[in-house]
């Protein structure tokens, strides 16, 4: 059976790679948090890392836009959009197909892609956390184009993903990283705004493991209070539920105005 050996969540804005020292008053703290997460991942030594993220109309467009999709290939090429350098990463077709089979059997109509290229939502955390040499399974969650999956559906998906991981063959060691958010507005008049109070409240709830107040939010409330970009908290919910919803530890937070995003980094407690 497979084992979940690490779980975490982090924001993924492209400025993390393009302009890492944007705010000297915040950047060192964030940099240390990513180093700590990378070190913990190295210690956990997973055979495969499931990166749960959205896509920003690079791989998926309106002609073919799934709600959930797992990338099942032995390699994944980057888009290198936003001027982000990147290179092809290894995948794990066999493990991804096994997860896909289990999730569909559990009642989740997850699509699969045998040729899933990765945009910055995936490549930024892979690069920043030193996962370039690990086998990566990309797991897409629609956070951009209504109708979006319900927050509770994302919680249930995370729980089902944990069960699917534990049914993987050959004793695979698995890490899960959710990536997106927190508050930011994209392509609208409020672009550049950050709601630090909302971010800190959300991160407190993730730390405590109390997902119920998060799941009670409506998309309209999230959009109004934290921006259309904050709808990406779906990826955090999937990761937290996969870990066991027992909370975690905030490694760092900063309102990074140069990146037009509130940046959160959390290590999630993995429970039985």
- What is the length of the chain? 272
Beta pairing, strands 48-53 & 135-141: parallel
Maximum CA extent, the chain = 51
Mean pLDDT of the chain: 96
Residue 188 has pLDDT above 90, yes or no: yes
Residue 246 has pLDDT above 90, yes or no: no
β-bridge mates for residue 141, sequence order: 68
At residue 33's C-alpha, the angle toward residues 133 and 140, to 5°, is 55
Domains, the chain, ordered by start: 3-268 (3.40.830.10)
pLDDT in tens, 139-186: 999 999 999 999 999 999 999 999 999 999 889 999 999 999 999 999
pLDDT in tens, 58-88: 999 988 999 999 999 999 999 998 888 888 9
Residue percentage of the chain with pLDDT more than 90: 92
Average pLDDT, integer, range 242-270: 96
- What's the pLDDT score for residue 245? 80
Q: What is the pTM of this model?
A: 0.97
Nearest to 226 by CA among 92, 212, 89, 234: 234
**How does residue 129 score in pLDDT terms, banded at 50, 70 and 90?**
very high
Beta pairing, strands 111-113 & 68-71: parallel
Give me 73's structure tokens.
């290939």
Catalytically active residues, by annotation: 120, 184
């Amino acid at each position: 059976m497979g084992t979940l050996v690490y779980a975490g969540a982090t924001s993924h804005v492209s400025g993390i790679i393009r302009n890492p020292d944007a705010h000297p008053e915040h950047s060192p703290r964030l940099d240390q948090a990513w180093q700590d997460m990378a070190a913990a991942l190295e210690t956990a030594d997973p055979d495969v890392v499931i990166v749960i993220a959205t896509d920003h109309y690079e791989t998926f467009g309106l002609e073919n836009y799934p709600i959930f999709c797992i990338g099942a290939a032995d390699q994944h090429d980057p888009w290198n959009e936003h001027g982000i350098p990147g290179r092809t990463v290894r995948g794990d077709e066999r493990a991804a197909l096994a997860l896909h089979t289990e999730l569909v059997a559990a009642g989740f109509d997850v699509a699969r892609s045998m040729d899933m290229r990765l945009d910055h939502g995936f490549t930024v955390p892979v690069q920043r956390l030193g996962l370039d040499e690990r086998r990566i399974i990309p797991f897409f969650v629609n956070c951009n184009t209504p109708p979006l999956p319900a927050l509770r559906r994302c919680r249930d998906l995370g729980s089902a993903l944990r069960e699917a991981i534990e049914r993987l063959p050959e004793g695979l060691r698995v890490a899960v990283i959710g990536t997106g958010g927190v508050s930011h507005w994209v392509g609208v008049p409020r672009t550049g705004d950050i709601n630090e109070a909302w971010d800190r409240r959300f991160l407190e709830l993730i730390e405590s493991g109390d997902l119920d107040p998060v799941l009670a939010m409506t998309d309209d409330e999230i959009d109004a209070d934290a921006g259309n970009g904050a709808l990406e908290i779906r990826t955090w919910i999937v990761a937290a539920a996969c870990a066991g919803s027992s909370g975690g530890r905030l490694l760092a937070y900063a309102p990074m105005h140069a990146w037009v995003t509130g940046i959160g980094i959390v290590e999630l407690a993995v429970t039985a």
